Amino acid sequence: MNKRAANNSRKRAPTRRLGSAPSRLAVSAPLPKNVKVSFEFFPPKTEKANQTLWECIQRLAPLKPAYVSVTYGAGGSTRERTHATVYRIRCETDLEPAAHLTCVGASRAEIDDVARDYWDAGVRHIVALRGDPAEGEARYRPYPGGYAYASDLVAGLKKVAPFQISVAAYPEIHPEAKSAAADLDNLKRKIDAGASAAITQFFFDIDVYLRFLERARKAGITVPIIPGILPVMNFARVAQFAAKCNASVPRWMADLFEGLDDDPETRALVAASVASEQCRALNAHGVEMFHFYTMNRADLVFAICHILGVRAHPVAAGKVAAASPAKSAIASKGA
Ligand SMILES: Cc1cc2nc3c(=O)[nH]c(=O)nc-3n(C[C@H](O)[C@H](O)[C@H](O)COP(=O)(O)OP(=O)(O)OC[C@H]3O[C@@H](n4cnc5c(N)ncnc54)[C@H](O)[C@@H]3O)c2cc1C
């Protein structure tokens, strides 16, 4: 282009009014270097679901998560399956398993025995929760002779062995809490009882998390409060679940997923875009640890981790092999 043409094109360049909108995408910032991740799985119900879970673990293991946690069904409904999955992760992979344990449906002595078995099997990390009531039961009621609340469970576990303990935190307040302040007091009780980290309920608006973090720090809670990230595979189901857990679903999310109920491929692309933007924006605010609710599906989480600069490392030979009936049999023996 000659000088005159260049001048003309400069003159003709459309003048764009700059508003208050941010001029940079979160993903255009330099690739994060220090991000750490953890993954949450649920215990499978069927052999097919077991296969899906192990394919998921196999795909995500090379990302070297800090730990992988396994949930405990509402009302204690998955007790054996949770134990079997945790033991199998301990025995057959290089991953650090974290077992979710709840107060529901068991005496203190029974829970202490489970914890002792975990410790003897080499499980060092417990996610300690009060738990939700079993399906069909409207209200939580402490089990007679059991631990009543998560803070009691944390204290009990610490008497069994020096576990690393994580607990739940609620940026939008637990539905049964009397107030935001009472809920924060409860979180502090759990930390004072011996928990060394908190994982949050999922949220979509990053300001909700950042405001909560600020309140928690002001209340003297200094442990890591790790954001729980839920990539939205099924918007309708997540919206229903969110209503039960007091997690708000912003209007912009409903707009993004509108019309995609029968289009899972597009939904997955939108979900990856939303969650990676959320994580990169949090990272821009200094957040370096993320806990992913994987729903036992690897692809979205793998993509989001990639965008967060978390890359695959080789896995030791012989570890995290594909699921096979023989291995499942070993796992169920450990239950
Ligand atoms: C990261 C994460 C993982 C989860 N994993 C599971 C799982 O595997 N299995 C499962 O069943 N559920 C799980 N849940 C859900 C959890 O069990 C529910 O949210 C449950 O309702 C509360 O559990 P909590 O550990 O937060 O309870 P707590 O910390 O005990 O709090 C429960 C409620 O009681 C109030 N409270 C606490 N102590 C007292 C007291 N002394 N007196 C009066 N009120 C009190 C609190 O403010 C709060 O409203 C998980 C939640 C999160 C965020």
pTM, whole model, 2 decimals? 0.90
Strands 197-202, 164-169: pairing kind: parallel
CA of 128 from ligand 1 middle (Å) equals 9
- In the annotation, is 110 catalytic? no
Whole-angstrom distance, CA of residue 221 vs CA of residue 185: 10
User: Atom of ligand 1 at shortest distance to CA of 104?
Assistant: 11
CA of 137 from ligand 1 middle (Å) equals 16
Q: Give the position of tokens 């215990």.
A: 43
32-314 classified as CATH 3.50.50.60: no
Q: Is the CB of 178 under 6 A from ligand 1?
A: no
Q: What is the mean pLDDT of residues 153-160?
A: 98
Whole-angstrom distance, CA of residue 279 vs CA of residue 300: 13
Collapse the DSSP code of 173 into the 3-class scheme (helix H, G, I; strand E, B; otherwise coil) and give the result: coil
CA of 171 from ligand 1 middle (Å) equals 13
Strands 289-293, 36-41: pairing kind: parallel
Confidence of residue 30 (pLDDT cuts 50, 70, 90): confident
The C-alpha angle 193, 195, 200, rounded to 5 degrees, equals 125
Collapse the DSSP code of 188 into the 3-class scheme (helix H, G, I; strand E, B; otherwise coil) and give the result: helix
pLDDT score recorded for residue 233: 87
261, with CB counted inside 10 A (0-12, 13-18, 19+), is exposed
pLDDT score recorded for residue 17: 58
What does the mean pLDDT of the chain come to? 89
pLDDT score recorded for residue 9: 42
Residue nearest to atom 16 of ligand 1 (CA): 131
Collapse the DSSP code of 69 into the 3-class scheme (helix H, G, I; strand E, B; otherwise coil) and give the result: strand
Whole-angstrom distance, CA of residue 9 vs CA of residue 7: 5
Q: Is the CB of 134 under 6 A from ligand 1?
A: no
Residue nearest to atom 15 of ligand 1 (CA): 131
CA of 187 from ligand 1 middle (Å) equals 10
Q: What is the mean pLDDT of residues 75-102?
A: 92
Q: Is the CB of 81 under 6 A from ligand 1?
A: no
Cβ partners under 8 Å of residue 3, min gap 6: none
Q: Is it the case that residue 320 has pLDDT exceeding 80?
A: no
Confidence of residue 11 (pLDDT cuts 50, 70, 90): very low
pLDDT score recorded for residue 20: 57
Instruction: For residue range 245-293, list pLDDT tens digits in order.
Output: 999 999 999 999 999 999 999 999 999 999 999 999 999 999 999 999 9
